[in-house]
Each structure stands twice: as structure tokens, then as C-alpha cells.
Structure 1
Amino acid sequence: MEWGPTGAAAVPADYAVVVDVLSFTTTLSVALERGIEVFPFRWRDARAAEHAMRHGATLAVGRFEAMSRGDARHVSLSPASLSEVEGIQRLVLPSPNGSTIAFALADSGAQVVGACLRNAGAVARWLAPRVADGASVVVVPAGERWHDDTLRPAVEDLWGAGAVLDALLDALGGEDEVTSPEARMAVAAWRAARLPDDLLRCAGGVELTDVGFVADVEIAAQHDVSEVVPVLVGESFRDATEVQPAAPKLRRVDG
């Protein structure tokens, strides 16, 4: 387990699980539940609009922009808004954290997977037989950004990472010598969390609640309510049950 885009690049693995609970991977899980193919993108700017046009996709707007337009078709990073949208089949979903990491990992050789609290168990069950066959996994809590663009660790992403790892270890029969100390600490943090209260009271939850997006936090706090496993195939995330991604070449490490 390592934090943010730098951590993702520092730990090569066969499978890279990106966790951005508030809110990229939560929104991603909601989108796939509704049958929407999701194209991650780094930022919402002219390049993102061109990316959406090239793929015949809708470009997600900012939370406040979507609210001001009052049009259900103008979806945003808000999972609550996406849970109500109709008539969208493809969505370009920019975010400076989770989407950026997923986009950067696309060329790394790892199979990129999106996880949050909602689908932690489903992702773990999908990974378990692959790990049992010798594959390596890095779980990447995305974190947030400070005003100077440095990483701001986010406890909700630590919980999300821990939820995936806890379920994965359970599926594999318990902890063993190949589990890193960082992974074990994430599991311990997850086991200590009290949902939904802690998510509502943590810094990220308070920030969203204070500006009127408490519904997003409540959706993000739901644990193991989704069976979708978002895998990045080409430039888009789709549910693993609908695609057969090529198996990555296993990275075996001695010692």
C-alpha cells in the first residue's frame, strides 16, 4: 500500500487498486451499477472536452456547476447526482486525485482496478484467485491535495484501502509474510472505523457536508453494497463481469 500518484509509480505490481472514497471511485462504482462506461481523465479543461467528444461521451461537470444548471443530464463527480441520471452510456470523469492516478497507471503494465467502501468485498473476491496464483497487488489510497499541490493523506481513503485489504486477506485465509506493514496498518485503521459517523466527521466528509453534499458522503459510507469490479480496459472502466482483460505478466520479486 502506497499513497497517491507518486506511491503508485513507486511500487510496481500486477494489479493496482485505486481508492478515492470522496469521491472518484465511489462515483465510478455508482456509474458502473447503472451500466455507464467511465473514461477517467486528469482535469476538466478543453482537453477533457475533446476527450469526451472523441469517445462520444458526456463530460462530467463540477459539483456546483451541475447544481446551478438544475439539469439531471449534467452529471458531476457527485455520486448522488449520478445515481439519478438517465440516458447516459459513456462518461468522461475528471478528478485531480483518483482519476489522475488511474490515468497515469494505464501505461504501467498493471491491471488498474477501482475500489471504494461500496465494492471493497467484490474487488477483494475478484483479486483473491489471482493473488493465490502468485500475482502482486498494490492498493493506492489517492488522498487529497493541499493548496501547494502536495499530497494530503485522507483518512477515508486509508479506510477504503483497509477494507479491500481486509477482505482480500480474509479470502486468502489470513495475513501472511508477504503482507506489508503499510497494508496491515490500513487494515487496522479500517477495523477501527465507525461508519457512517466517522466518514461524516472526518475532514473530507465535513468539507462536503458544509457545502451541501451530505448525500455524497452517505453514499460513500455504504459498505459492501455493490458487486461491480471496475477494471480499466483501454481508456475506460467497465465491470469485470462484462470484459475479459488480458492477464498482466506477473512481476516476481526474489527475497
Structure 2
Amino acid sequence: MYFDQSPYEVKLDWGRRGARAAAERGDIVIIVDVLSFSSTVVTAVQHKANIYPYPPPINETAKAYAKELGAEMVWGRSEAIRVGGHSLSPLSFSSADYARDFVLCSLNGAACTWIAAQVPALLVGCLLNASAVADTANRLKLEMDVNITVIPCGEKWSDVKEGEDELRPGIEDYLGAGLILSRLAGTKSPEAEVCIGAVKSSGHRIRDLIWESASGRELRERGYEDDVTYCCQADISYAVPVLQENRFVNAGDPV
């Protein structure tokens, strides 16, 4: 027998496996990858850029896809320093990117997006747009009469041994998911309720907890303190990326 959260309207599932389960159920999906896929996509869409997600890694196939679209690649932070251009740092996007096309690969957020691409609606959420993405998901839920799954993407262990799970849950994604879940309407699974509880118990310490988390420390030690500071801000953006015709656009903009 397969056990899941199907009795509930609002669910929480982790990573690529969770994205697949949500897609099989036909749920609205909200992808949450705070550091940094979601925060980068929200920021880029806020500046009216078009983001085409593509599964990792950045290889010749991904580059050929970008060339076919006439789009620019979004590089990893270190690679962007070497070759120039935009990176997974949300701060690399600005108003100068209006109407420009980009292909974005990432190990977690883009991979989960690719798996769940055929759901009724796929949104991107993070701390930056928590209220806005929840409002949009609530509206779509009523219009489409379907349920919602929030997917914190987590990270991948770099030293996985045979038989071990490569998913490393990240508290930054759990807290981002919890803030969004707290604003969603409908019956919530125990998994979703516990995630909301984590946000409530964290209170005003969310920024400090993410700052000192494994993911936060990794970025800070690589010199990206500004990214962590930026991504920890709640409800500063009204942009809601929605996947339409293989690209993310703002849900509030005409297509």
C-alpha cells in the first residue's frame, strides 16, 4: 500500500521525489529553493526577464538549448566570475534585463521544476514573495478545483555513498515553505502543519537561523554574504513566477 498526503488539500513534499508525486496527483506545485533558485527566479521575473528552466548540469545540451532560444546562460556563481554574465545570485539581475531571455540550470530548483512541469500550475516561491505566491496559489486552487503541494527542494550531498539518499533537507527551504503554507487556504496535512509550526517557533529569528545554517554558511564563506542577506527578506516582492510555454513569467502580467 502507498501512503501519502492525499486526504488533504495542502501538502508538503521534499525534492525531486516529492515533485514527481505532486505531478502524478495533478496538484498545483510551488517550488521553494531559497538559496538560491527561487530567489533568483523571483528577482529576474520582477525585472521582467524571461527565465527558461533546464535540468542540470550546464553542458553542451543546455548550451545548445540556450542557443536555440537565443537566450543567455545563467552560470554558477564561480563560473560567472570567470566567463561573465548572470549567475545564480539573485543580485546579478536588474532592471537592465527587461525582456531578455535566460536559461537557468540548477541542481535542485530547476531539476524539480523540470519533473513537475506538466502540473496544472507551477509557481516559484521563497521568502521574498511568500504572501504573493500564496495569494496566487489560493486563487488558482479555486479556479482549477485542484490541490496544492509545496516542494522545498533541499540540497544534494556531494559525498553520497552507495545506498544513501542524496537529498540534504535545508532549513532555509523548510522555513520558506512554512511561511507560504501558513498563508494557503484549505485542509493541511500533518507534514504541512509541522512545517508551519517551525516558522511560528522561529519567529523573528528566521534570518539568523538561515544565516547560520549549513547552506547560509557555505555561501557566506564563499563571499556571498549579500545573497544570504537578500534572500532572507520576507514579502518584499509581488512577483509570482509561473511556468508558461517553458518559461517563467509573472503571473500578474499578460502573456
Both proteins in one fold, TM over 0.5: yes
1:200 maps to 2:211: yes
2:46 counterpart of 1:33:
yes
Alpha carbons 1:36, 1:89 under 8 Å: kept: yes
Residue 188 of structure 2 corresponds to which residue in structure 1?
179
Determine whether 1:53 maps to 2:67.
yes
Residue 242 of structure 1 deviates from its aligned partner by: 1.6
- What do residues 205-237 of structure 1 show as CA deviations (whole Å, max 9, x unaligned)? 000000001111111101000001110012100
1:151 aligns with 167
CA RMSD between the two structures: 1.8
DSSP-derived class of the 1:68 partner:
helix
- Opposite residue 50 of structure 2, the aligned amino acid is E
Tell me, yes or no, if structure 1 residue 136 matches structure 2 residue 147.
Answer: yes
> 1:198 is paired with a residue of what secondary structure?
helix
Cα distance in structure 2, aligned partners of 1:86 and 1:240: 18
SS in 2 for 1:242: coil
Q: How many residues align?
A: 233
8 Å contact from structure 1 (residues 141, 157) kept in 2: yes
The offset of 1:187, in angstroms, is: 0.7
| Aligned pairs for 1:1-255 within 5 A | 1-11=12-22, 12-43=25-56, 44-69=58-83, 71=84, 74-83=85-94, 86=97, 89-107=100-118, 109-132=119-142, 134-147=145-158, 148=160, 150-168=166-184, 172=185, 178-193=187-202, 194-243=205-254
Q: Deviations over 1:101-121 (max 9, x none)?
A: 1011113x3311100100010
Secondary structure, aligned partner of 1:196: helix
Q: Distance in 2 between matches of 1:150 and 1:100?
A: 14
Report deviation, 1:84: 7.6
Residue 175 of structure 2 aligns with an amino acid whose one-letter code is W
In the TM superposition, residue 138 of structure 1 has moved relative to its aligned partner by: 0.4
Which blocks of at least 5 consecutive residues in structure 1 are unaligned? 245-255
Output the CA distance in 1 between the equivalents of 2:82 and 2:73: 16
SS in structure 1 at match of 2:70: coil
Q: Give, in whole Å, the separation in 2 of the partners of 1:196 and 1:137.
A: 26
How far apart are 1:56 and its partner, in Å?
Answer: 1.2
| Sequence identity percentage | 35
1:152-200 Cα offsets, whole Å, 9 max, x none, are 10011001110111122xxx4xxx6x31001001111122231321111
CA distance in 1, matches of 2:250, 2:140: 17
Task: Give the structure-2-normalised TM-score.
Answer: 0.86
1:85: Cα distance to partner?
5.8
Give how far 1:2 is off.
Answer: 0.4
Measure, in 1, the Cα distance between the counterparts of 2:132 and 2:219: 26
* TM-score, normalisation: structure 1: 0.86
Secondary structure of the residue aligned to 1:167 is coil
Cα distance in 2, alignment partners of residues 117 and 191 from structure 1: 14
- Residue 58 of structure 1 contacts residue 88 of structure 1 at CA under 8 Å; is this kept in 2? no
Structure 2 match to 1:249: none
Where 1:91 maps in the other structure, the secondary structure is: strand
Tell me the amino acid that sits aligned with residue 181 of structure 1.
Answer: P
Counterpart of 1:248 in structure 2 is: none
Q: Is the 8 A contact 1:75 1:85 kept in 2?
A: no
